[in-house]
Amino acid sequence: MISTEDVRHLATLSRLRFNEAEVAQYAKDLGSIFDYAKALNELPTDDIAPSAHAIPIENVFREDGVVPFDADTLLINAPEQEGHAFKVPQILAD
Amino acid sequence: MTQWEVVIGLEIHAQVTTQSKLFCSCSTQFGSTPNTQVCPVCTGMPGALPVLNRTVLDKAITLGLATHCTINEHNEFARKNYFYPDLPKGYQISQLDKPICSLGYLDVEVDGSTRRIGLTRIHMEEDAGKLVHQGSDNIKGATHSLVDLNRSSVPLVEIVSEPDIRSAKEAKAYMESMAQIVRWLGVCDGNLEEGSLRCDANISLRPKGTETLGTKTEVKNLNSFKSVERAILLEIERQTDILDEGGTIIQETRHYNEATNSTKSLRSKEEAHDYRYFPDPDLVPIAIDRAWVSRIEQTLPELPTARHKRYQTELGLSDYDAGKMTVDRETGDFFEATLSLGSSAKEIANWLNGDISAWLKEHSSTLAICKLTPAHLAEMLKELINGTISGKIAKQLVDDMLETGTHPSTLIKEKGLAQVNDTGAINQMIDIVLSENPKAVEDLKAGKVQTMGFIVGQVMRKSQGKANPDQVNKRLKELFSLS
Ligand SMILES: [Zn+2]
């Protein structure tokens, strides 16, 4: 069960705005996704160590070294830029 | 009136010295044009895959070992989710319940006694980008902001202390000690101006003799040793005033302003932090075996506090000199190298603390980048002890060696700086000086010993500092039967 309160909290954290009808709809939709995932609870996992990754793999590293990237291509997608910086709207208002 | 006990814990963020970032191969060079050291990984482009820089792991283990931490065999990275324009992915990759190091300590000298400050943990994480607010120096007045992601994903270690610190002075001493150690180990360059070392302080008060912790505030933006001490003093005073008047402390974050020496509450309309940490599926777990840890253990250098003690007990240096010779790795290694070439510890310390450090300061240089080598200093000290050169010439020589990197023997030969010990030459100079100063000769004949100093000075001047003053003195005493 996902409550409408949970949905409002998630919406705030995700910077999304929903009307009342949407809040109710998402509570229902997210609730059924949750319930679906709950099927996993039926599996016996008492003897299985908690894991942080889907496949049994560890220690993937790179050596410390610089490989330059054509950074200009990254700014192309910016909605707005100024100088060589990404330009963002006012962050905090009074 | 209630006596309050101060309880402080520090969180230090140290930038790990590497060529490239934590999860991508972009450069970590400071001060470049905005957004020139970025790639799809550190700008959070969809589908980009982070891969851990092994050097960061090695350096975090090094720091953990030097601070007596347990190195955890099993490590994971987690996502700390929040929105801010300096965080392109919408989460910071950090470590939560599986950090690299836990439960260590650092011994700190405060007012001549040793305080043991516990370390809760050291974990690895990535830095955020840099925001430059436009149209105002304050975020709320800004019209818009510019984002530079060169810093994004630069590797950090966060060093979290136990709430073991009991005064602003202790906090400063702890921060200074930690800075010395991370520099000494090469884990961090310790450059406070460039933000390589930053500190936040958690501060609370409780009635003396009680155990329960009071409500704490977190003071941020402590970017110098002086700031750490001053900001904590301010906050202790603020909390004391509130509690003395029967008020209660509000748990909050306060921002320290170095220019005005004041703190301000950072109340934002944000909801209470809800970071929804979870293991980062893009990064695989890390297993650190015993062999790995011992390999690093073997490369661990002698630490500054141990060396400081050794210089006092084995070399007979004063506390002051031993401290100066272990202030950083450069000085320590320079001192050791010169020592190994046979010079006396006290002589080396005197020169490094005196003329050499004055020259370096004046020329904004350091032992690492100047042209003086331990071999040249040792050679110069040998010539000085032998009497080949006078103390005055030695000072001149050191400046030349620092400036040009020329071997002292070459300088002595080329510039004719060798001390004149040749009795004939000295006597000849004395005769000339005496003939030029008949009044002084009269005085000397009359037994006025103080005039001797004047004549010695004149001879030294004539010889451009090269005459051996002992010999000049001896000869004058003979000539005028003075004792
Ligand atoms: Zn990158």
What is the complex's ipTM, to 2 decimals? 0.88
Q: Would you call A57 and B284 a contact, using CB atoms and an 8 Å cutoff?
A: yes
Residue that is written with structure tokens 């080949």 in the block = B388
Residue B419: pLDDT band (50, 70, 90) is: low
Strands B197-207 and A85-89: unpaired
pLDDT-derived band at B234 (thresholds 50, 70, 90) equals very high
Residue B17: closest C-alpha in chain A = A64
pLDDT at B269: 47
Burial class from Cβ neighbours inside 10 Å (0-12, 13-18, 19+) for residue B467 reads buried
pLDDT at position A69 is: 93
| Contact residues for B10 (Cβ-Cβ < 8 A; gap 6+) | B159, B160, B161, B165, B171, B174, B175, B199, B200, B201, B202, B228
**B433 vs B227 pLDDT, higher one:** B227
Q: Which among A62, A68, A91 is the nearest to B51, CB-wise? A: A62
What whole-number distance in Å separates Cα of residue B85 and Cα of residue A85?
Answer: 12
- Residue B169: other Cβ atoms inside 10 A: 15
Determine the residue of chain B that is closest to A66 in CA distance: B25
When pLDDT is cut at 50, 70 and 90, the band that residue B422 belongs to is confident
- Structurally, what CATH architecture does the domain formed by A4-41 represent? Orthogonal Bundle (1.10)
Regions of chain A short of the pLDDT cut 50? none
As a whole number, the mean pLDDT across chain B is 88
Contact between chains at B53 and A53 (C-beta distance less than 8 A): no
A58 and B287 within 8 Å at the Cβ level: the answer is yes
pTM > 0.90: no
What's the start-to-end Cα distance of chain A, in Å?
A: 38
Per-residue pLDDT, B270: 52
Residue appearing with tokens 């921060």:
B175
Instruction: Give the domains, in start order, of chain B with CATH numbers.
Output: 4-292 (no CATH), 302-415 (no CATH), 423-480 (1.10.10.410)
Integer Cα distance of B315 and B326 in angstroms:
13
* Domain residue extents for chain A: 4-41
